[in-house]
Amino acid sequence: MLSKKIKWREENMIELKVDLGERNYPIFIGESLLSDPELYKPYIAGNKVMIVTNETVGPLYEQQVRQALVDYEVDTVVLPDGEQYKNWETLNLIFDALLEKAHSRKTTIIALGGGVVGDMAGFAAASYQRGIDFIQVPTTLLSQVDSSVGGKTAINHPMGKNMIGAFYQPKAVLIDILTLQTLPPNEVSAGIAEVIKYGLIREPDFFVWLEENVGRIKGLDSDALTYAIRTSCACKAEVVEIDEKEGGLRAILNLGHTFGHAIETHKGYGAWLHGEAVAAGMVMAAELSCLEGWLTSQDVARIRAILIDSDLPINGPEGMLMQEYQRLMSVDKKVLDGTLRLVLMRSIGEAFVSSEFSSENLNTILSK
């Protein structure tokens, strides 16, 4: 299904483009990209840069990024690491740093880290002086294939995940797959969940490839990672180009997320990794689709099998009650006029959004 043009810039680098008219931006994918000044210069308007990173990623990769920015005045703000810090208090650390160092509308923010850093740095960029430029430099598999592309920025609220934020596109996305060498195995698996999602919603041939190659991704094989990341990014870019602000098609990118966000909120942000919660949520969506007569039991078994092979959960948290799912899902962003909508599947590779499902079948899934 993919028609996205993939450009090989150099022997070890791929360039994709997110085509949004005047707000086009490139996605660079390759190795040893962090310290290449030519990948940053076209997307930095002024002479000041603010690197936003966290206490885990900063010591590993900040100096490599600084090597590319010797022609600029560079400041850094270091955030605490973890989903539990994706809140107003931590966001204000970014605003405090920008103001203390007298950064202007010409400043460019560089988000160096995983999805939490990217979401908060992007939201800060959208808000500071009503909008400044930012560049995404994602360092986790999940952020490389999902959160860094598409312009969703947000913080969490105690009552719901990603409830406060903005659509705000970066100027560029720079994906250096060598950063994954320092990623813990459970974080790699969490990223694989989002990779699998693209096969389930839109790319059946990619899903078949993943069934055969997920072990290579877990093992951080360079060729497998590059193919998985570029295919995921190309799929997301195509969907975002069609529906930037989630008025229709883009909602399919949330397969498993309504269930998953409920799990994350219930357990406390950070107790379950986002990809782990999404994995369990995708199984719930598949099982509901099967009960509704849309998805075959054989396809459900394939979905369960690939998630198990990826070292991901296929069930929600033990002891989480149906009523807790219902309460938390009722404040999901896909609820419109009081009606819950879910991303479901007709087959592997074909997802759709619907409110036309049996509440009895949904409750059966939530009660497992």
CATH number, domain of 308, equals 1.20.1090.10
pLDDT of 9 above 70:
no
User: Of the candidates 74, 78, 126, which has an alpha carbon nearest to the alpha carbon of residue 101?
Assistant: 74
Domain limits for position 143? 7-178
Q: What is the pLDDT of residue 368?
A: 83
In a shared domain, residues 155 and 208: no
Q: Specify whether 257 is catalytic.
A: yes
What contacts 205, CB < 8 A, 6 or more positions away? 349
Question: Average pLDDT for residues 166-192, to the nearest whole number?
Answer: 97
3-class SS string, 178-231: HHHHHCCHHHHHHHHHHHHHHHHHCCHHHHHHHHHHHHHHHCCCHHHHHHHHHH
Q: Specify whether 315 is catalytic.
A: no
Catalytic residue among 83, 194, 238, 276: 194
Residue in the structure block whose two tokens are 């880290």:
113
In a shared domain, residues 189 and 149: no
Question: Average pLDDT for residues 259-277, to the nearest whole number?
Answer: 95
What contacts 184, CB < 8 A, 6 or more positions away? none
- 286, part of any domain: yes
In a shared domain, residues 174 and 102: yes
- 136, part of any domain: yes
Domain limit, last residue, from 178, 199, 223:
178
Q: Specify whether 101 is catalytic.
A: no
- 235, part of any domain: yes
Q: Specify whether 103 is catalytic.
A: no
In a shared domain, residues 103 and 215: no
In a shared domain, residues 165 and 57: yes
Q: Specify whether 236 is catalytic.
A: yes
CATH number, domain of 137, equals 3.40.50.1970
Tens of pLDDT, residue by residue over 283-340, are: 999 999 999 999 999 999 999 999 999 999 999 999 999 999 999 998 876 777 778 9
Q: Specify whether 197 is catalytic.
A: no
Domain limit, last residue, from 152, 178, 204:
178
Would you place residue 245 in the very low, low, confident or very high pLDDT band (cuts 50, 70, 90)? confident
In a shared domain, residues 214 and 71: no
Tens of pLDDT, residue by residue over 49-92, are: 999 999 999 999 999 999 999 999 999 999 999 999 999 999 99
In a shared domain, residues 191 and 170: no
Catalytic residue among 86, 152, 334, 341: 152
Alpha helices in the chain (DSSP H): 58-67, 88-100, 115-127, 141-142, 185-201, 204-218, 222-242, 257-267, 274-291, 297-309, 322-329, 359-366
Q: What is the pLDDT of residue 10?
A: 58
164, HSE (Cβ side, Cα atoms, 13 Å): 12
Give yes or no for a contact between 284 and 259, defined as CB atoms under 8 angstroms apart: yes
In a shared domain, residues 217 and 242: yes
- 2, part of any domain: no
Beta strand 133-138 with 172-176: parallel, antiparallel or unpaired?
A: parallel
Three-state SS at 101: coil
Domain limit, last residue, from 155, 178, 201:
178
Catalytic residue among 246, 264, 276, 287: 246
Q: Specify whether 360 is catalytic.
A: no
In a shared domain, residues 119 and 246: no
In a shared domain, residues 220 and 342: yes
- DSSP assignment letter at 80: P
In a shared domain, residues 17 and 90: yes
Average pLDDT over the chain reads 94
Q: What is the pLDDT of residue 8?
A: 57
User: Of the candidates 4, 25, 134, 11, which has an alpha carbon nearest to the alpha carbon of residue 77?
Assistant: 134
Catalytic residue among 161, 197, 202, 236: 236
Catalytic residue among 48, 202, 230, 274: 274
**With pLDDT > 90 as the criterion, what percentage of the chain qualifies?**
90
In a shared domain, residues 196 and 169: no
Tens of pLDDT, residue by residue over 109-144, are: 999 999 999 999 999 999 999 999 999 999 999 999
Q: What is the pLDDT of residue 83?
A: 93
For the chain, how many structural domains are there in total? 2
pLDDT of 3 above 60:
no
- 113, part of any domain: yes
- 110, part of any domain: yes
Catalytic residue among 250, 304, 333, 341: 250
Catalytic residue among 54, 156, 162, 254: 254
Question: Average pLDDT for residues 23-44, to the nearest whole number?
Answer: 96
- 1, part of any domain: no
pLDDT of 183 above 60:
yes
Q: Specify whether 194 is catalytic.
A: yes
Q: What is the pLDDT of residue 5?
A: 55
- 220, part of any domain: yes
